[in-house]
Amino acid sequence: MELFRSFSQFIAGIFKRFLIWAPALFLDPYDLWARLIRPMLPDGYKFDLPWSPDWAPILLIGLIGWAAFLTFHEMRLQIRHTPCPDMKLKDALVWIVGTHHLFGDDNPQRTADALNLLRQAARLGRINSWGKSDPLPALADTEPLSPIPPDFWVSNQISYLEFLRDMRGQTEKVKFNTEDERYTDVHFNRSEIRQQFKRPAIFRRVYFRLRDNVRRDEA
């Protein structure tokens, strides 16, 4: 069963990287060269691409092999890597929400929901979290990050109001009959965040980016 699951994840990873090999299957490289690329070159550098239709299967197999190699590399890193705090709270929220404009339009509610998703995932142990154990203001920049235990998130959360003031983040209690402990400058692991929270489809990301640019221009 585990072998089948690994095989299915491997095949899914190859299909996920369809942008690598799909052009060789659906497009004519010679036609792209002749119609789009060659006319943009200076007159002294234009040349005909030595392309043969017999090369198409070889190119397709090579690109699928490259996609398979990238998939294998990603799966190997997931097994061997030791999580480290390499992603700030703001970057994690940008990844989940899908835009850098966390407080525009309907994004504040989505940002608050993303904070809850992070808390839930950290509580279940699906992602690791780190923070500075309530340092003194004078020591805030030099205080090292410490792992936040999963049980901490049972009675604590990342304060949305504090995030509005300081995007490094600060925790707050939600159950007041527990030990008073706070963390600031919350961090996560980039690989775990990307694995746990899949990004929206590419067309949805393009839509959000275009929408944000249009609204910024109108403002």
- pLDDT for 177 equals 64
> What are the φ and ψ backbone dihedral angles of 102, each rounded to 5 degrees?
-75, -15
Q: Domain containing 202: what range?
A: 87-213
- Looking at the fold, whether 44 and 61 belong to one and the same domain comes out as yes
Whole-model pTM: value is 0.58
- pLDDT for 118 equals 96
- pLDDT for 59 equals 72
- Looking at the fold, whether 114 and 197 belong to one and the same domain comes out as yes
* Distance from the Cα of residue 139 to its chain's centroid: 31
Q: Which amino acid is at 194?
A: R
- Looking at the fold, whether 74 and 93 belong to one and the same domain comes out as no
Q: Is residue 202, in this structure, part of any structural domain at all?
A: yes
**Helices marked H in 81-189 — which ranges?**
89-97, 107-123, 160-165
- pLDDT for 186 equals 95
The C-alpha atoms of residue 33 and residue 38 are separated, in whole angstroms, by 6
Averaged pLDDT score across all residues of the chain: 79
CA dihedral 124, 129, 132, 134 (to 10 degrees): -20
- Looking at the fold, whether 21 and 108 belong to one and the same domain comes out as no
- pLDDT for 191 equals 85
Q: Is residue 12, in this structure, part of any structural domain at all?
A: yes
Q: Is residue 218, in this structure, part of any structural domain at all?
A: no
- Looking at the fold, whether 97 and 143 belong to one and the same domain comes out as yes
- Looking at the fold, whether 176 and 111 belong to one and the same domain comes out as yes
Q: Buried b vs exposed e over 1-38: b needs ≥16 C-beta within 10 Å? A: eeeeeeeeeeeebbeebeeebeebeeeeebeebeeeee
Among the candidates 56, 80, 104, a domain finishes at: 80
- Looking at the fold, whether 119 and 175 belong to one and the same domain comes out as yes
| Total number of domains constituting the chain | 2
Q: Is residue 219, in this structure, part of any structural domain at all?
A: no
Among the candidates 80, 99, 118, a domain finishes at: 80
- Looking at the fold, whether 139 and 177 belong to one and the same domain comes out as yes
- Looking at the fold, whether 103 and 202 belong to one and the same domain comes out as yes
- Looking at the fold, whether 52 and 111 belong to one and the same domain comes out as no
Among the candidates 46, 63, 80, a domain finishes at: 80
- pLDDT for 61 equals 81
Q: Is residue 11, in this structure, part of any structural domain at all?
A: yes
- pLDDT for 11 equals 79
Residues of the chain with pLDDT under 70: 1-3, 18-21, 23-37, 49-54, 56, 77-81, 135-140, 177-178, 199-219
